[in-house]
Structure 1
Amino acid sequence: MISINLEKKVALVTGAGTGIGKAIALKLAETGATVAVNYNSSKESAEKVVSTIVEQGGKAKAYQCDVANEEAVKAMYIKIEEELGDVDILINNAGSLVERCVIENMSTELWQTIVDVNQKSVFLCSKYAIPKMKDKKEGRIVNVSSIAARNGGGIGAVMYASSKAAVSTFTKGLAKELVGNGILVNAVSPGVITTPFHDRFTSNEAREQFKNAIPLSREGQPSEVADAVLYLVSPLSTYIVGENIEVNGGQLMD
């Protein structure tokens, strides 16, 4: 039986209060990692994630931070390092469609917000994780992209899809930059996953249409994305570099 042990590893999961981020935080804690549960506005949810981990014998702490704000990110890393230790595993999960809007009606402010939350956040959190990983000559970074990065997303989601495509490209470029330092960078691209994201941005009718187009005939579960992430941060993936695992039930195949 294969057993994954992440004891003595500190993992930072951004946007970990709900949905996929929550599932990833719980999964990493189950395998022994100490988890920094980042959130922006979902304080109560993030604290529940921490409570669940602690009740199950793990170690975790919640950290409020707008991961698109550089000063806030710097401060968060300092606090994590003081309280939990250096970050060994970074999961760049935070992101949002923000709101559906076609390009001709989109304000520059909305465009910037979408880019910041999905793309700038990945840049900033990676930037401040890298120095300590380089010192240790090891580390794992997993970015959460989206099936939208490959198919352009739905109506009103052009900029979300574009920002996630940037995350996918950033993953490959950063992987090349860091592989010589023992840091492995990869990504996962969820398809239609049962999360508050789709509760907020996708109609029931559209979700039914999605399910009909998925060979597995169902939405995915956050835990199924978390399993792919766990693989990428575990000793089972030591020869995987710059890859993007599609977790979509067959909706999009190469």
Structure 2
Amino acid sequence: MGNLTGKKVLITGAEQGIGFSTAKCLIEAGCDIYIHYFSGTEGPEKLALMAEERGQKAMFGYANLTDAAETEKCVAEAAEFLGGIDILVNNVGGIIARKWLGEIEPEYWQTVIDVNMTTMLNVTQSALPYLKQNTEGASIVNLSSLAGRSGGHSGSLSYSMTKGAVLTWTRSLAAELGEFGIRVNAVAPGLILGTRFHNQHTTKESADNTVKSIPLGRAGDSDDVARAITYLASEYDGFISGATLDINGGVYRM
């Protein structure tokens, strides 16, 4: 695994859950970091303090990443503060609400697409000039989901569709950016409890039933995903690109 000391990271949606744990893991690996947030500063403040206590650079900033202009400003601020971008973690996403086929309205449909895909487009486009400047290679890690592999539970049709698209986006982008030494990979977490996503959209009964089907006999947590993302990020000069790392306790096997 590559040495991450001094690597410059931009991570989106790191105020809680997987994003927070991933930012923490990358800080502990020695990275300087810019923490994007949308819904609160408590988590970013803790992360910035942690980095500063270790003698590393850290800054956090707000942006609505569905807005291209706001995104470009946020990414430029990150690059200026860090002195470039070596690693991009596209973590922003969400189910918005559980809606079955007959309940899906055009506005909801577009919102799910924007939150899970347009944000990724805006951030990656804005970060591309900085990633291309790296002579030692750069790394992008995208957050997908087991739902993008399996289709998800009932009521997650729109969300699952976008997370499946993230997997294809990752493969296509790996082919397109390989000539610049930029590796692009994804992670696809399964049931990860303790996050806002499952606190709001998964009942205890549903979680308990899902756990029964997991060969390892437990749900995952944010640290399980954070370690995997850090691994993919650390292989910034490696040979892994266009891959998806499934993190689900063995419930989905390819």
Q: TM-score range by the shorter chain?
A: over 0.9
SS of the aligned residue for 1:136 comes to coil
SS of the aligned residue for 1:135 comes to coil
Aligned match of 1:220: 220
SS of the aligned residue for 1:169 comes to helix
Aligned match of 1:105: 103
Aligned match of 2:232: 232
Aligned match of 2:46: 48
TM-align CA RMSD: 1.5
Aligned match of 1:177: 176
Q: Which amino acid aligns with 1:41?
A: S
Deviations 1:113-145 (A, max 9, x none): 110010111111111111122122421000010
Q: Please, which moves more after superposition, 142-151 or 58-67?
A: 58-67
Evaluate the alpha carbon distance shift between residue 236 and residue 67 of structure 1 in structure 2; reply closer, same or farther with a 3 A threshold.
closer
* TM superposition score normalised by structure 2: 0.95
Q: Please, which moves more after superposition, 4-13 or 90-99?
A: 4-13
Match status 1:34 vs 2:20: no
SS of the aligned residue for 2:133 comes to helix
Q: Which amino acid aligns with 1:119?
A: M
Deviations 1:41-94 (A, max 9, x none): 122232222223333443311111111110011000121122222111000011
SS of the aligned residue for 2:84 comes to coil
Mind listing any 5+ residue stretches in structure 1 that lack a counterpart? none
Q: Which amino acid aligns with 1:193?
A: I
Distance (Å, rounded) in 2 between the aligned partners of 1:117 and 1:46: 20
Match status 1:161 vs 2:164: no
Distance (Å, rounded) in 2 between the aligned partners of 1:117 and 1:237: 30
Q: Which amino acid aligns with 1:179?
A: G
Evaluate the alpha carbon distance shift between residue 202 and residue 107 of structure 1 in structure 2; reply closer, same or farther with a 3 A threshold.
same
Identity of aligned residues (%): 37
Distance (Å, rounded) in 2 between the aligned partners of 1:180 and 1:237: 13
Distance (Å, rounded) in 1 between the aligned partners of 2:96 and 2:212: 26
Aligned match of 1:6: 4
Distance (Å, rounded) in 2 between the aligned partners of 1:54 and 1:208: 40
Deviations 1:163-211 (A, max 9, x none): 0001000000000001111000000000001222111100000000010
Mind listing any 5+ residue stretches in structure 2 that lack a counterpart? none
Q: Which amino acid aligns with 1:250?
A: G
Residues 29 and 59 of structure 1 are in contact (CA less than 8 Å); yes or no, is this contact kept in structure 2?
no
Residues 5 and 30 of structure 2 are in contact (CA less than 8 Å); yes or no, is this contact kept in structure 1?
yes
Q: Which amino acid aligns with 2:32?
A: T
* TM superposition score normalised by structure 1: 0.95
Distance (Å, rounded) in 1 between the aligned partners of 2:237 and 2:243: 11
Aligned match of 2:209: 209
Distance (Å, rounded) in 1 between the aligned partners of 2:71 and 2:186: 21
Residues 30 and 58 of structure 1 are in contact (CA less than 8 Å); yes or no, is this contact kept in structure 2?
no
Distance (Å, rounded) in 2 between the aligned partners of 1:113 and 1:48: 30
Q: Which amino acid aligns with 2:18?
A: I
Q: Which amino acid aligns with 1:220?
A: G
Residues 36 and 60 of structure 1 are in contact (CA less than 8 Å); yes or no, is this contact kept in structure 2?
yes
Aligned residues: 252
